[in-house]
Amino acid sequence: MINDEYFLAALRLAAGSDPIPGHVSAAARDAFGLRVSQAVTAAPADCAATRGVRGGDGPGMVRFVAAGLTFDLEVTVGDGLIDVAGQVFPHPGEGSHVDVRTPHLTLTRRLARTGQFAVTGLPPGWLSVVCHRPGLAPVQTRWVRIRP
């Protein structure tokens, strides 16, 4: 497992003898902190209902698929905040839950028997969902930018 100091040392070596500006190192640390260790990343997938979100054009549906799971996310924007209604299927098993993440906030929700979950009042910007399954690697969506 890589730690922050090794990561920064590798960046310094790759950059040559010039020191890395402090803001670049800070941004790299922030980005590294957003990763979910050993997670499988679900890629966007087409379906008849997908519209809007992936292109950054506003609210809509987006689907992600990986590791035998499908994430359907419906995103709406109201009063400048984001609401997400989602479903993970097939149901990933008893004790599974999702983390709906922004760069500064993570909200955890247990999955209903149907695999459904909802989160309201998120700030606009970047969003990712991670499904945690007992005994298996987590599955995360790519980061999606939601604009009001």
Q: How confident is the model over 55-94, as pLDDT tens digits?
A: 444 458 999 999 899 999 999 999 999 999 999 999 999 9
pLDDT beyond 90 at 53: no
Closest to 92 in 3D by CA, of 117, 59, 73: 117
How buried is residue 80: exposed, middle or buried, by Cβ count under 10 Å (0-12/13-18/19+)?
A: exposed
Q: What share of the chain is helix, strand, coil (3-state, %, to 5)?
A: 15, 45, 40
Mean pLDDT of 46-56: 54
Tell which CATH classification among 2.102.10.10, 3.40.1190.20, 2.30.30.60, 2.60.40.10 matches the domain 40-146.
2.60.40.10
β-strand pairing of 144-146 with 139-141: unpaired
Q: What is the pLDDT of residues 115-141, one digit of tens each?
A: 999 999 999 999 999 999 999 999 999
Q: Where in the chain is the domain with CATH 2.60.40.10?
A: 40-146
Model pTM score = 0.75
Outline where 67-148 has alpha helix (H). none
